[in-house]
Amino acid sequence: MAPVRREDDHLEVAATWEDLVERKIREAQERGDFDNLPGQGQPLRIETNPYARDWELAYKILSDHGFAPPWVEASRIMEQAVDAVRAASTSWPGPRPSERAAQRAAHLERVRAANAAIDRFNLLTPFPWLQRARLSLEAEARRFDAAWPGE
């Protein structure tokens, strides 16, 4: 059954609630109802975390003192480690072929470090859908070898 909304002296009908809501928002925009709102162009100050539930006070205390939950800190470390793996590929091939073996070993060590950071994050995150897949050591070795073939 199509959604019906009673509006003063008439009824509004749409195929879905989403269509009805989108139409009402569009009409309000056209009338200028969203122009010159207080705080326009400023970031929203969201003080509560709807996902925190029982942990809200603990998260607020951490945030007030410049800290984040351990899984968030682990996420930052993991992203830096993965970024380091990706950034290293910009230096391939190096200026001297004699450095290839050392560069390959260093790259694979970065991959191992990134995987350790991914494992730590996956253990700490309370949300299973945020878990990250590990980097494939073999795929990264093939990527290195394709970019910097051996002699």
Return per-residue pLDDT of the chain as tens, 151 residues: 667 767 777 777 777 878 878 888 998 999 999 888 888 888 888 777 777 788 888 888 888 898 888 899 999 999 999 999 999 888 777 767 788 888 899 999 999 999 999 999 999 998 899 999 999 999 999 998 888 887 5
Where are the domains positioned within the chain?
1-34, 54-147
Query: Which long-range contacts link 107-115 to residues 24+ away (Cβ below 8 Å)?
Result: 107/140, 107/144, 108/137, 108/140, 108/141, 108/144, 110/81, 110/84, 110/85, 111/85, 111/135, 111/137, 111/140, 112/137, 113/81, 113/84, 114/78, 114/81, 114/82, 114/84, 114/85
